[in-house]
A and B are shown apart, each in its own frame.
Chain A
């Protein structure tokens, strides 16, 4: 069964460092998303991406965050200067169309020290 793959599974970084989280969505999917879940809290929407541009973003997705689809297969989330409160599990997801059923990756755990 096709799956969304995310790397790394766990990254530890120092506050202020840049982090790039990588995702390979399902190959024929057209919509891409990043969500995050801070430990013990709810899953929060960060950003959606379609047709090589951001289609929606939440208030969490500030100037420190950016997304890119550099080569037609990867979908990356960059955090420019990490803060302690960025520590969370980051989930990538993709969907085929506006059918709204998302397929999620297993997540990348980011720990900012």
Chain B
């Protein structure tokens, strides 16, 4: 049931540079997309979201882009900071709240 895919298990970037995390989905019924961030020994925390009526949403250093035709979304973090090092989960849901998560991408930001 791989409806949400994050094909890169890990990503390493230098502090100050841009981090780009990618996510693909297969279910065309998904209309709400979210990114969660997870530190070790903690539950996922909500980071940023985007609905299917938009193609971009920005919140400070974080921007999510949605390409509906390609069923692809990405999270951009710029500039990246060492505190951003965490596992990032892409999630998607249709209106009924049955949220599906990707496998996660471990981001390491090196000082």
CB < 8 Å A-B pair total: 58
Residues of A37-69 contacting chain B, CB below 8 A:
41-45, 48, 55-56, 58-59
Assuming the contacts A45-B99, A48-B98, A101-B34, asked whether A106 and B42 have C-beta atoms less than 8 A apart, the reply is yes
Bound-state CA distance A43–B46 (Å) is: 14
A102: interface (CB < 8 Å): yes
Number of B residues contacting the other chain (C-beta, 8 Å)?
23
SS of B interface (majority): loop
A15 at the interface (CB under 8 A from B): no
B103 A42 Cβ-Cβ under 8 A: yes
Residues of B within 8 A of A (CB): 1, 32, 34, 36, 41-46, 49, 89, 93, 95-104
Interface residues of A (CB under 8 A from B): 4, 31, 33, 35, 41-45, 48, 55-56, 58-59, 91, 93, 95, 98, 100-107
